[in-house]
Amino acid sequence: MDDHHDLGEFLQARRALVTPQSAGLRGGGRRRVPGLRREELAQLAGISVEYYQRLEQGRAKHPSDEVLDALAEVLRLDTVEREHLHLLARPGRGRRGGTTAAPTPTVPVTVTVRPELVRLLEHVKVPAMVLSDRLDVLALNPVAKRLFVHGAAAAPGTWNLAAFLFLAPEAREFYVEWDRIATDTVGQLRATAGRHPDDEQLARLITRLRTESDAFRRLWSRADVEVRTHGTKSFRHPAVGTLTFTYETLDFSGHVRQRLVTLTPVPNDPTEAALHLLTTWATDSTLPRPASPRTPEPRPRGARRRGCP
């Protein structure tokens, strides 16, 4: 990935979100661009316009921490966005304790999940899975396989949730809050790309999504960065209807590119009963499979379905 191009893209996108009025400047006159002009941002950050222009064009290769922090202050970046800015400006270096960390090579994604962790997944009663930071599905426990029926049979590492989300027609039916999840997913991939700029498989995934999905391309152009560790998600299962979960994402010590995701039913919700029904199916072969978009599968009589648009 072209990190310096990504830096310019990120700066331009964030600059467009800051109004002159919010930055203490007069916003009068006709403006050709949304947000701050280059010269306005440079003035507020205390750097020359020429130097800032070189940053956006990817021609300034080694900006100092002071310059990056000044830009982050004017652009009102949060902690995740500040870290991303430093990573883009100096690929392979992060920020630790306010100083620039030493360069670190890109760590490859390990597709194999430790046997001890697989056994742990099997004993978890709620849907749980191991994902890579590229959103490759590396392992699913039995109840998660019953929930994620679209990719349950895929070999470890071959089913990618971002590719499914943006390229599979059935994904918009499966994810109740598709728009929100799509925005969060793009932001997460941006953050991963900043941490691992030499990951060729990630670069190919992003290129494919930008080429084949108008929605992904539009969201990617916003240059948002997102790191979500918890929240809520709802899914429409082809047999038991809508299920709503709170999710937790836990990184592994020693496997920096693998994380555990658990889905717990929200309390006092029909999801608990629906999840119990999923866990009582004896084998994967008894599970209803997702219907073809052209020939919808009949819904079993009595199955609940709520939250439909």
Predicted pLDDT at 253: 76
Q: How far apart are CA 288 and CA 147, in angstroms?
A: 10
Q: List, in sequence order, every residue forming a beta bridge with 95; answer none if it has no partner.
A: 100
109 vs 7: which has the higher pLDDT: 7
Nearest Cα to Cα of residue 76 among 112, 36, 37, 114: 36
Task: Enumerate the CATH 3.30.450.180 domain ranges in the chain, comma separated.
Answer: 115-286
Q: Quick check: 43 pLDDT over 60?
A: yes
CATH of domain 3-100: 1.10.260.40
Q: What is the mean pLDDT of residues 33-52?
A: 91
- Is the pLDDT at 3 greater than 90? The verdict is no
Distance of CA 75 to the CA centre of its chain: 22
- What pLDDT is stored for residue 289 in this prediction? 53
pTM for this model (two decimals): 0.79
The one-letter amino acid code at 180 reads: R
Is residue 133 over pLDDT 90? Answer: yes
Q: What is the pLDDT of residue 93?
A: 54
Q: Does 307 score more than 90 pLDDT?
A: no
Q: H helices of the chain, where?
A: 3-15, 38-45, 49-56, 65-75, 79-89, 115-123, 142-147, 161-167, 171-174, 178-195, 200-212, 214-221, 271-280
Per-residue pLDDT tens digits for 185-212: 999 999 999 989 889 999 999 999 999 9
Kindly state the DSSP code that residue 260 receives in the 8-state scheme: E
Please state, for a pLDDT cut of 90, what percent of the chain lies above it.
64
> At a CB cut-off of 8 Å and minimum separation 6, what does 300 contact?
239, 288
The residue written with tokens 């270096």 in the block is 93
pLDDT surpasses 50 at 294: no
Angstrom distance (rounded) from CA 267 to CA 290: 27
Query: What is the DSSP annotation of 181-201?
Result: HHHHHHHHHHHHHHH-TT-HH
Token pair for 308: 């439909």
The domain 115-286 is placed in CATH, from the list 3.30.450.180, 3.20.20.140, 1.10.540.10, 3.40.50.720, at: 3.30.450.180
When comparing pLDDT for 62 and 56, which is higher? 56
Q: Which residue has the higher pLDDT, 2 or 131?
A: 131
Range 207-212, long-range pairs (CB < 8 A, 24+ positions): 208/163, 209/162, 209/163, 209/166, 209/167, 212/166, 212/167
* Residue 309 pLDDT class (50, 70, 90 cuts): very low
pLDDT reported for residue 298: 41
- pLDDT confidence band for 6 (50 / 70 / 90): confident
Residue 165's pLDDT is 98
- pLDDT value for 210: 97
pLDDT of residue 299: 42
80-112 per-position pLDDT tens digit: 999 999 999 876 555 544 554 444 556 788 888
Residues 257-295 as b or e (16 or more Cβ within 10 Å = b)? bbbbbbbbbeeeebbeebbeebeeeeeeeebbebeeeee
Please report the pLDDT score of residue 62 as a whole number. Answer: 83
The 10s digit of each residue's pLDDT in 232-284 is 999 999 889 999 999 999 988 776 799 999 999 998 889 999 999 888 874 44
The predicted pLDDT at position 20 comes to 86
User: According to CATH, where is 1.10.260.40 located in the chain?
Assistant: 3-100
131/148 Cα distance (integer angstroms):
13
